Amino acid sequence: MYGGRHIVERRRRARAALGVGQGDRVVDVGCGPGFYLAELAGEVGSTGSVVGVDASADMLELARSRCAGLENVELRLGDAAELPLEPEAFDAAVSVQVLEYVKAVDVALATLWRALVSGGRIVVWDTDWASVSWHSNDTERMARVLRAFDDHLAHPSLPRTLGARLRAAGFSNIEFTAYTVATSELSDDTLPGSLVGLISSFVPGHGSVTVDEANEWAAEQRLLAEQGDAFFASTQFCFTGTK
């Protein structure tokens, strides 16, 4: 999934929005398996540093393996609502598709504000899952599947309130851009291709979706793709701000 072209493009856009340079100190909140860490480590160089924070020890092990040999990368175990970050220790902070899972999102943003130096930059990237447009010949089942998948999120439409939340946390110069993924493909190289398996394994037992319905939905999506009739579109939002 992380190697798919839509996710690779998302990383490129997020890093461009962050705009770090040699010597910058950066924190990645919800660093996962460390793709951003490895890429940012090269951008900040030997005089800079990158700290990755994640609540999952397993993810940190993947990040540690990916960043092996990079002396300017540090990993920390911590929840986004209780970030282990020192005040005014970073020039930039990035969090990509993480805060939509965090109930105490305002606490996380306030902590990031304190962790940045004056003039420090932040990039927060999240999806408005209500923007998903996904074709199915069974529209009622499709709607139930998407509603059930929302159960894995704390804030399914976080971008709608993210600007206000960033301002409340103290950030200024807040702007956002949209990144729309639209495709008729369902390969592993695409976002929907990666999502089908995740969704069909998660939704049974959520809402009114059964195991059989989840499997039938996934099978239909693969068949539509084979026939050239698949359609998927969703919009993600990149917010930027400064302290």
Sequence spans of domains, the chain? 5-242
Give me the CATH code for the 5-242 domain, please: 3.40.50.150
Percent of the chain with pLDDT over 70: 100
For residue 104, the SS3 value is coil
**Contact (CB, 8 A) for 44 and 24:** yes
At residue 2, the pLDDT reads 79
Place of tokens 């939905």: 217
At residue 163, the pLDDT reads 98
At residue 1, the pLDDT reads 76
Cβ neighbours around 211 below 10 Å, total: 12
Residues 6+ apart with CB under 8 A from 144: 207, 208, 209, 213
Confidence category of residue 4, pLDDT binned at 50, 70, 90: confident
Handedness of CA 36, 42, 44, 49 (dihedral sign): positive
Helices (H), the chain: 5-18, 35-44, 57-66, 105-115, 139-149, 159-169, 191-202, 211-227
pLDDT in tens, 59-82: 999 999 999 999 999 999 998 888
For residue 116, the SS3 value is strand
Residues 6+ apart with CB under 8 A from 231: 133, 134, 135, 184, 224
What would the two tokens of residue 137 be? 């010949």
**Contact (CB, 8 A) for 11 and 39:** yes
pTM for the model stands at 0.94
At residue 81, the pLDDT reads 81
